[in-house]
Structure 1
Amino acid sequence: MENFKKVHNREKTRSVKWDMRHVVFQSDDVLPMWVADMDFQAPKAVNDALIERAKHGIYGYTIIDDDIKNPIINWISKRHNWEINKEWLSFSPGVVASLHMAVQAFTEPGDNILVQTPVYTPFYSVIEAHERNVVKNPLQQKDHYYHIDFEDFEAKLKQGVSAFILCSPHNPVGRVWTKEELQEMARLCLKYDVLILSDEIHADLIYPGNTHFPLASLSDEIAKKTITFMSPSKTFNLAGLQASYIITSDKETKEKLDNQLLKQGHNHINTMGNTAMEAVYKHGAEWLDELLSVLEEHKKYVTAMLEEKTDVLTVTRSEGTYLLWIDCSQLQLNSEDLKSFMNQTAKVGLNAGIDYGDEGEMFMRMNIACPRETLEEGVNRLIKAVNNR
């Protein structure tokens, strides 16, 4: 666990999280707990592999061979009980880039694309940048826990939707969808002939008592209408290495997606991303198990502290990801004043809930993937600011 206790100075490393504070929060003394990367070093196996590769000193074009594909296949089989084969795999620099490619390949300008709000902010740009229309199926919150409004879901599909971008596990609300929920969403998409683009980048970050089910693993029929997007970037803190993969079992669908990736020049990953992906999927399991234990304790700590030490901040019940969705509605501030309060008064840099959709107006998103010392400092700043307001 010592790997997760050490505080690393990330300033002046061109870190978006730390070196963009003045731009994002208009202050350099804000404690950044926002963008989804971790303040933990990646597994030692990654650093060893990257250093060894760098010793070679030649960085030419890189192939993606079975030494990379087989560890992915084995990982998904062991961690998610899903048997895939290497012919289903495609590669790109990132999940968001892949979603852009899929939207262009399988929908047309003016088409409607469904999302479940509040939702990961790039989903909006993935749709709107290509002149498609965002259709919302707002999630319903009850007792600080989110549910799917299936009546509204079907009503939206019935009106005409070309694709549905599923966030599973869900960012930012932390839901890990049950098998029954996934089956019902898939049933309705099949009924209305809607392609499912399933963003499963947080699939490995699941808290005890919950299970992530890859949507396409539920049946061959569902798999035929589903494209799955995954990456080790969130799991092992590799976002800057830009490596992701796509799983598509339907041959015709995969060919169409691969053509779009090729057309846009996004059908490969860089040398170091290749190297890191192989290393973590071969040797990262123990590190991940330790991380999950740390995150579980962090989640419990933040939840207990905010609810015991304040009367206005409540953490939404989270089942996955290292992102907590905090209900700030009792502060009775509008979205702009809430952001200002967190940035200027509490001096904690969180993601503003309004950025995830109007449904998130009274919320803030907190990244708890940091050493306990950093976490406690951020929580104490919040408590102090709230209780002195």
Structure 2
Amino acid sequence: MKFDFATPVDRRQPHHHIESLDTERVRPQWPSQKWHTYADDILPLWVADMDFRSPPAVIEAIQQRVAHGVFGYGLVPESLRQALCDWSVSHYGWEIQQDWQHWLPGVVPALHLASLAFTEPGDGVLTVAPIYPPFLQVARHTGRLPQTVDLQSPGEDEGWSLDLDALEAAITDETRLLLWCHPHNPTGRQWTHEELAGLAALVERHDLIVVSDELHCDLLLDEGAQHRALAEVFPGLAERSVTLWAPSKTFNLAGLTAACAVIPNASFRKRFRDVAKGLMPDANVLGLVAAEAAYRHGEPWRQELLQVLRGHRRLLAERVARWPGVGFKAPQSTYLAWLDLRQSRLGNESSPAIALLDRAGVALSDGAAFGYPGFVRLNFGTTAEQLEQALERMDNLLA
């Protein structure tokens, strides 16, 4: 491998120093949500950022921008817009336009902006569960009606699936907006064409607007898998859709807050931008630099990352097979695993996630926040050494 995905990076006690203005040597504080939320003896496999250094090309581009030394208000460069256009064509087969893009600090703000831009108070905002927790909060935060429908739980051989009949039954006269996740967080499902075709048909039939969060689309783990944007596969959805992309998960750039809403419909784009004014800050100049470097030069790094994550997925599957009663379907995408602990040795615990934290020293995401108590989400986007340590600790409670 050309890149180092094996050496753990110390994210709790950085050994870099900076020189203060009075020339004294000081240790900077770089708090990490993932590593500083819990005590030092806890291994964190929860929030969705990875423990790998970002691509060297990205780091170099940021260093060059920092050397400029002026960090005033920036603009989204045409070169970044074109880089995303090129990436979309080469990776998804979708020819998007530069003026369809609205860059903003993140996907979660974009979900809320879409609710404000395309619905009125009292309108229904529909999503499926389990789901990334902010999806469940959008309606409440924006004064809309929350609507949720469950995915079909996996059988003996199948994974989680979309129940189209249940989804359509959940649509009411108030429903206006569908928040979709493609591929799906937390189950890691890459939706089939048949599922997406059924989804597209009911979206058009009920005159809905769909926001498709495709944040993990560059992390498909099955060999030969190909992501296609929802709005590209079903052109009838393009004029009623917002597609959300970002380099944050793929290239481990979450803290640089740069994401893009791709909105082909000019009227929708204006409504979205108008709502964003005053609610969203100007572009993060370092995040924009990082995004362009990632899309232009990060592909070799991404390909090696995928091989690492595939290996970690195999390791996790082998370990879970030794844990009686733990339900697990290997994710087709993402570096996130969704574990059902309801029939496990921790099945009687009010929160298996808290039990693992308190008694095994491993921090996982609690399924209750995703709408599914008794489940946990495990982030295997870490080094093999750190993953193995965490799994050994979990063995003590689950094996």
Q: Give the match for residue 111 of structure 2.
A: 99
Which is further off, 195-204 or 174-183?
Answer: 174-183
Residue 147 of structure 2: aligned partner? 135
After superposition, give the CA deviation of every residue in 1:108-159 in whole Å (9 maximum; x if it has no partner): 1111111110100011222211111221120011236101111111111245
Contact 1:93 1:242 in 2 (8 A): yes
- The alpha carbon displacement at 1:310 in A equals 2.1
Distance 1:164 1:355 in 2: 19
1:40-91 CA distances to partner (integer Å, 9 max, x unpaired)? Answer: 0000001101111111111111111211111111111111111101011111
Contact 1:116/1:166 (<8 A) preserved:
yes
| Corresponding position: 1:254 with 2:269 | yes
Residue 312 (structure 1) aligned with residue 313 (structure 2): no
From 356, 359, 363, the equivalent of 2:370 is 356
Name the counterpart of 1:223.
238
Q: 1:265: how far off?
A: 3.3
Paired residue for 2:31, among 14, 33, 44? Answer: 14
In 2: Cα distance, 1:251 partner to 1:286 partner: 35
How many residues were matched structurally?
378
AA matched with 1:151: D
The structure-2 alpha-carbon separation of the partners of 1:92 and 1:40, relative to structure 1 and needing over 3 Å to count, comes to same
Query: How far apart, in 2, do the equivalents of 1:273 and 1:163 lie?
Result: 29
Is 1:333–2:350 an aligned residue pair? no
In structure 2, the residue matched to 1:24 is none
Q: Is the 8 A contact 1:335 1:354 kept in 2?
A: no
The within-5 A match list for 1:31-70 is: 31-70=43-82
Shift of 1:211: 2.8
Give CA deviations for 1:309-339 in whole Å, capped at 9, x if unaligned: 2223232231111100011122253563412
More helix by share: 1
1:351–1:365: 8 Å Cα contact kept in structure 2?
yes
Name the CA distance, whole Å, in 2 between partners of 1:297 and 1:84: 34
Secondary structure at the aligned position of 1:140 is classed as coil
Mapped pair 1:345 → 2:362: no
Aligned to 2:184: 170
What is the TM-score of this pair, normalised by structure 2? 0.92
Residue type matched to 1:150 in 2? L
Give yes or no for contact 1:168–1:176 (8 Å, CA) kept in 2: yes
Superposed CA offset, 1:172-218 (max 9, x none): 01111122211210110110001001111111010124332211102
Local SS of the residue matching 2:150: coil
Structure 1: distance between partners of 2:124 and 2:243: 20
| Fraction of identical pairs, as percent | 34
